[in-house]
Amino acid sequence: MALLSAFARFSRTCRSLISCRTTFALFAVSVFLARPVPAGEPVLRAGADRSDITPELGTVLPGSFTAEVTGIRVHDPLHVRTLVLDDGTNRIAIVVCDNVGLPLSVCDQAKKWTTELTGLPGSHIVMAATHSHSAGSAWRASGPDSITQVLDMDGFTHSAAPLTSYQKFIARRVADSVQSAIQRLEPARIGWGVGREPGQVFNRRWFVKSEQNRRNPFGGVDQVRMNPAPGSADLIKPAGPTDPEIVFLSVQSKAGRPIALLANYSLHYVGGVTPRTFSADYYGMFAERMAEMLGTTHQDPPFVAMMSNGTSADVNNVNFPKGVVPEEPYVKMRRVANLVAGEVYRAYQSVTYQDWVKIDSRYEELPLTPRQPTPEMVAAARELVANPPTKPRWHPLETTYAQWLLLSLEAPKQLRVPVQAIRVGGVGIGVIPAETFAEMGLELKARTPFEKSFTISLANGWFGYMPTPNHYEVGGYETWLGINRLEKQAAPKILSTILGMMKSMQDPAGNGVAP
């Protein structure tokens, strides 16, 4: 019996020792994983998320000048796609929503909720729209005509109105998506590449011969027409360039598992949908195709590909001299998505990855003056609104623009226009809350202090079209007061601000940044 008792005491002692050693080992591992990263050993972490923002049927679709149009079917779901990057010191979130344009009020609410959930400040969040014209509208369109849609453009008078249910839904989904991406943060590596697809981008502003085709809604005659008849003998020459580059960031786990891919292409949208149908356009199809090509369709955690809109305010997918061949709905956008994804996949094969890069963000609210009509324009607009023409009109939209022009008189005397610049290693990203011309994007790329730069337009707000100053001299749709709200010098002022921000983020030691 004494022998058995002694053996039991010995067994308990051994188990106690083993338990102590196991506890100590687990404690040591936890301390190692939680320890602060020593200087010189920074860790890049990344996380991504995709959440559904498909609206209810009956939600307004954007783009109509004459009547409210609602969606009655869904072709493919709409999403908010998020990439979070953290270099151990700075953290940023880049969010791309399948939407035509996100008013400042929606972006501000989404960022407020995101900060409350995650602690990430709004100045480190990019919230952009793809500009799909078949996505549910985040504008407040709710009346019998489209005036309420344009009123929700930042710089008009209704931007302080309460958010609609769909606007709140988008804002909440953005906050949730950023939170989910942060929860998925893991050690990562990152690289970037550049492809070119010149065959899918064409300048949509043309010098044309006919005065009839150059009339504007203010009783004048422009030199340039937006979207003239394809194949017409009236065409003279395009009014500006295009940017055929596709710049992309590729993020992988340390083991090489694809986490996310953020691409940027300067293409307005493609279109070619069935009427009253929700679709993410080629942006969503590009994301699907990239997942297919990388073999990540059923990956867990999910791979997130996203396409952001570059400087495409004067660019679309119509080859005007060649003309247009009718196609079945969705065929053209699928072809464009496959071509662009194929070019990215080609360049993807040559990407060099880095285990750590510097992440940084700069944000400023630039004071800009909204455009105001001349006294002569105001008098003519009041006459048009009071006495709509009964005879053939000078321009089919003259009464609509007269109403917008008069409403612009109630606009604030000064606008707060959010301007942002992001650094991801040797790549700089300019972030602009307007529809931006290709010329500005090309100039940013030419003058950037980084190895490579690109512009995400329609981000952190929507202030309408922003032509470069020379385009006001030749006119055209994008310069018309109403759809165009920012002062004529807005583009150079914003470009100068972004370049200054990028220079302030330069690393004197190099680290992938040009001297």
pLDDT for 442-456, tens place per residue? 999 999 999 999 999
The amino acid occupying position 112 is K
Helix (H) or strand (E) run with residue 513 in it: none
Residue 476 pLDDT more than 60? yes
Whether 175 and 410 have beta carbons less than 8 Å apart is answered as: no
The reported pLDDT for the residue numbered 342 is: 98
pLDDT for 80-104, tens place per residue? 999 999 999 999 999 999 999 999 9
Whether 331 and 174 have beta carbons less than 8 Å apart is answered as: no
pLDDT for 59-87, tens place per residue? 988 866 666 789 999 999 999 999 999 99
Cα end-to-end distance, the chain, whole Å: 84
Q: 436: number of CA atoms within 13 Å, CB side?
A: 33
Residue 36 pLDDT more than 60? no
The amino acid occupying position 306 is M
Mean pLDDT of 239-265: 98
Residue 197 pLDDT more than 60? yes
Only one residue has tokens 């083993």, namely: 18
Question: What is the rounded distance in angstroms from the CA atom of residue 121 to the CA atom of residue 111?
Answer: 8
The reported pLDDT for the residue numbered 49 is: 98
pTM of the model: 0.90
The reported pLDDT for the residue numbered 151 is: 59
Question: What is the rounded distance in angstroms from the CA atom of residue 139 to the CA atom of residue 136?
Answer: 9
By percentage, how much of the chain surpasses pLDDT 70? Answer: 87
Question: What is the rounded distance in angstroms from the CA atom of residue 291 to the CA atom of residue 303?
Answer: 7
Mean pLDDT of 403-420: 91
Whether 196 and 339 have beta carbons less than 8 Å apart is answered as: no
Which tokens go with 163?
A: 């958010």
Q: Where are the domains of the chain?
A: 45-205+233-369+411-504, 375-406
CA nearest neighbour of 305 among 259, 348, 336? 259
